[in-house]
Amino acid sequence: MATDIVEHTVDSGGVRINVATAGQGRPVLLLHGFPDSWHLWESQIQALAQSGHRVVAPDLRGHGESDRPEDVAAYRMPRLIADILAVLADLGIEKTAVVGHDWGAALAWSFTFRHPERVERLTVLSVGHPGASISAGLVQRQLSWYMLWFLHVGVAESVLPAGDWQAFREWAWQGVDTDPLMDGQIAGLSRPGALVAALNLYRANIRPETYFLSDVPQLPRVSCPVLGVWSSGDLFLTREQMERSGEWIDGPWQFAEVPGPHWIPAQAPAELNALLLDFLA
C-alpha cells in the first residue's frame, strides 16, 4: 500500500517553499536538482517512508510549486540554505540525513559545510565534492560546457523551448521523443517564469572566471558518513569527480556506481533505494 504524501508551504524570508512529507521516524531530507521538483523522488519517498523514515522533499525555490523570485541574487547558495533551515524549523527537525541530486547535491554539500551539526549523514548523487570537481580536469570541464552557455541571459531562454523544446531534448535527453520524466520537466519549464528561474540557479552561483581553475582552493572537509553515487550513463559528470570526493571526507566514505543516465532517482530507482536503505539503516 502506498504511503500518503502531504504537501504544504513554508515561508522562507517571504518566499513560499512547497514541501512534500511522508512517513514517521528518523528524518531524511531529499533535495532535487535542475530542472526537477520533489516528484523526482517519488520512488524513494515510498521506500524510505515504508522503512520507518520521515521523508521531507521540498521544491527548491524557482522549481515545482515553490515561488519563483525574479532577482537572480535570490538564488544564491546562502538563500537556498536558508530555505532548508526554514523547512527544518517548520517541521521541528534538528538533525537529519540529507540526500541530494544534481543542484540538490551541490546544495547538500554546501549545507553540510555550513551546518555540519545538522547533518547526520550525507548522500550525494551525480555531483561530487567541489574540490574533486575542480581537480577532475579537462574532460569534466568539457561536459560542463552548458553551464557557461546558461550564464548568457536571453540565449537559453530562446533556444531551449524552440521547436517543442527540441534543443532541450537533444542536449539533456539525446533526442528522446517522449519519457515521463522528460515530459514532466518540459511541462514544468513551460510555465511562466519557470525556465528563467531554473537558469538562475546557474547565474547566481557560477562565476566564469573560476571555471578553469587549475589549483584547488582550500575547501571544507566533511566528517559525517558520506555515500557518493554516480551513474554510468551520465552525460554531464565524470566518474572521477565523484569517486575522488572521498579525498575530502574525514568520516566513512562509500562510492557506488549504478547503471543508467543522469537522473538516478527516476532512472535507477531500485538500485538507489537499496543503497539508501542500507546506508541509512
pLDDT digits (tens, 9 = 90+) for 116-131: 999 999 999 999 999 8
Residue 234 has pLDDT above 70, yes or no: yes
Residue 213 has pLDDT above 70, yes or no: no
**Cα separation, 193 vs 49, whole angstroms:** 33
User: Measured over all CA atoms, what is the biggest interatomic distance in the chain, rounded to whole angstroms?
Assistant: 52
Q: Residues near 213 by Cβ (< 8 Å), separated by ≥ 6? A: 134
Report the percentage of the chain scoring pLDDT > 90.
88
What does the block give as the cell for 19? Answer: 514541501
Residue 240 has pLDDT above 90, yes or no: yes
pLDDT band at 1 (very low <50, low <70, confident <90, very high): confident
Residue 144 burial (C-beta neighbours within 10 Å; 0-12, 13-18, 19+): middle
Residue 136 has pLDDT above 90, yes or no: no
DSSP single-letter state for residue 68: -
**Cα separation, 97 vs 149, whole angstroms:** 34
- Tell me what pLDDT residue 216 has: 67
Summarize the confidence of residues 237-252 as an average pLDDT: 96
Instruction: List the beta strands (DSSP E) in 50-118.
Output: 53-58, 96-101
**Cα separation, 119 vs 111, whole angstroms:** 8
Q: List the domains of the chain with CATH numbers.
A: 6-279 (3.40.50.1820)
Mean of the per-residue pLDDT values of the chain: 95
- Whole-number CA gyration radius for the chain: 18
Residue 175 gets the label, from left (phi > 0), alpha (psi -120 to 50) or beta, of left
Crossing angle between the packed helical segments 103-114 and 77-91, to the nearest 10 degrees: 80
- Tell me what pLDDT residue 72 has: 97
Kind and range of the H or E run holding 50: helix 42-50
Residue 214 has pLDDT above 70, yes or no: no
Q: Cβ distance 226 to 127 under 8 Å? A: no
Among 59, 28, 31, CA closest to 46: 28
pLDDT digits (tens, 9 = 90+) for 145-167: 899 899 999 999 999 999 999 99
Pairing of strands 226-231, 253-258: parallel
Report the percentage of the chain scoring pLDDT > 70.
98
**What is the SS3 assignment for 75?**
helix
What does the block give as the cell for 195? Answer: 525556465
